[in-house]
Amino acid sequence: MTHLPVGRFAPSPTGPLHLGSLVAAVGSWLFARASGGSWLIRMEDLDLPRVVPGMADDILRTLERLGLEWDGEVVWQSRRTELYEAAFETLCDQGMIYPCGCSRSDLARSASAPHPGEDGPPYSGVCRDGLQEGRGARSFRLRVIDEEILFVDAVMGEYRQNLLHACGDFVVRRKDGPFAYQLAVVVDDAAMGVTQVVRGTDLLSSTPRQIHLQRLLGLPTACHAHLPLVTGSGGSKLSKRDCAVSLTQGLHLATDGGRLIVASLEFLGQTVPAEVAAAPCREILEWGRGRFDPTRIPCQSRELTSV
C-alpha cells in the first residue's frame, strides 16, 4: 500500500500572513493535495513575547477564505511542552546536551525559526567541556558532529552542510524555559506524521540541524522542498507590513483573493490561463492541484510583481 503524503504549513503568529508566507502556504498545499494527501496547520507560537494577540486567528480565517482548507485540528506549539520535554530528556540521556553560559544573540531568538542573517557565526564550543568559572547556564546546547549532512531538496537540489563548520553546537532550550524552534519543529513534524516539509528557502540551512536531531531521536526524515522567497524591490527583505495578506488589514477577498492565488501559483512557475484566473479562489486552487508540476518551480528568490 502506498501512503499518501502528509504536508503542513507552519506559520508564526508574530504578524499577519504576507505574500511570502502565502506562497509557502500555496506551495505546501499544492505538494500535498496534488497527490491526494492531507495538509495540516501548525501554529508556531512558542516565542511568546513575539506572538501578536489575534494574529493566529487572523491567519486561519484568511487561509480559510482563500480556499486553503486544512485537515484536522490546528496544532498549537505552545500546548505541546511535554512532547518537547520528553525529546529533550532523551537527548540528555544520550549525553548530547550540555549547559552553556555564553550570552549570545542566538539565544534570544532561538524560539523562532532563523531567517537569513539571523544565524550568526558558528558557536565556538567554549562550554562544551563544562561551564566556565563563575558562569551560570543560560541555555542548553546540542552537540553536533564534524560530518557532512546531505539531503536532496525537491526544488533546490542537493544540499550539504557540515554542522560543526556551519553553526556549531546549537541551542535547543533556553535555561529560563522555552524550547528552541529547531527541536520543536522536529518533534512536531514526527508527531503529526508529516512526510513533506515544504517551506521557504530561508529555512534550507536549518534542515541539516533538523536531520541531526531526527537521527538522534530515531525519527524519520521527511521529503523537503524549499521554495524561492518573495523579496521586496531589488531583492530586499519583504516587509510584512507592506505586503500583509490579512482580512483585518484591508484584504478584499472578493476582488483580491483570486489575484493573490494566481500570483502565488505563477510565482511557483505554474502558468494560469486567463479563463481560470477569473474564477473564485477554490476553483483556481483546484485547477492548480490538477496541473501542479513541481519541476517548474524556479530556484531564484525574487519580487512578486503581478499583484
Q: Which residue has cell 495540516?
A: 40
Query: How many other C-beta atoms can be found within 10 angstroms of the C-beta atom of residue 289?
Result: 15
Binding mask 11-40 for ligand GLU (x = CB under 6 A): xx----------------------------
Q: For residue 197, which phi and psi values (nearest 5 degrees)?
A: -105, 110
Least separation in angstroms between residue 275's CB and ligand GLU is: 34
Interface with ligand GLU (CB under 6 A), residue total 8
Tell which positions 37-76 bind ligand GLU, by CB under 6 A. Answer: 44
C-alpha distances (whole Å) from 265 to each of 3, 19, 117, 196, 255 are 26, 12, 28, 19, 17
Does 6 bind ligand GLU (CB under 6 A)? Our answer is no
Does 203 bind ligand GLU (CB under 6 A)? Our answer is yes
**Nearest to ligand GLU of 182, 270 (CB atom):** 182
Binding mask 90-119 for ligand GLU (x = CB under 6 A): -----------------------x------
| Distance from C-alpha of 199 to C-alpha of 204, rounded to nearest angstrom | 9
The bridge status of strand 97-100 relative to strand 139-142 is antiparallel
| Distance from C-alpha of 88 to C-alpha of 9, rounded to nearest angstrom | 24
Lookup: cell for 28:
505546501
The identity of residue 219, as a single letter, is L
The bridge status of strand 223-227 relative to strand 196-200 is parallel
Least separation in angstroms between residue 187's CB and ligand GLU is: 12
Contacts of 91 (CB under 8 A, 6+ apart): 97, 142, 172, 213, 216, 217
Residues 232, 303: contact at Cβ < 8 Å?
A: yes
Does 188 bind ligand GLU (CB under 6 A)? Our answer is no
Least separation in angstroms between residue 138's CB and ligand GLU is: 24
**Nearest to ligand GLU of 169, 202 (CB atom):** 202
Stretch that binds ligand GLU, among 9-17, 127-135, 237-245, 291-299 (CB under 6 A): 9-17
Stretch that binds ligand GLU, among 7-15, 165-173, 222-230, 235-243 (CB under 6 A): 7-15
Which residues would be at the binding site for ligand GLU (CB under 6 A)?
10-12, 44, 113, 185, 199, 203
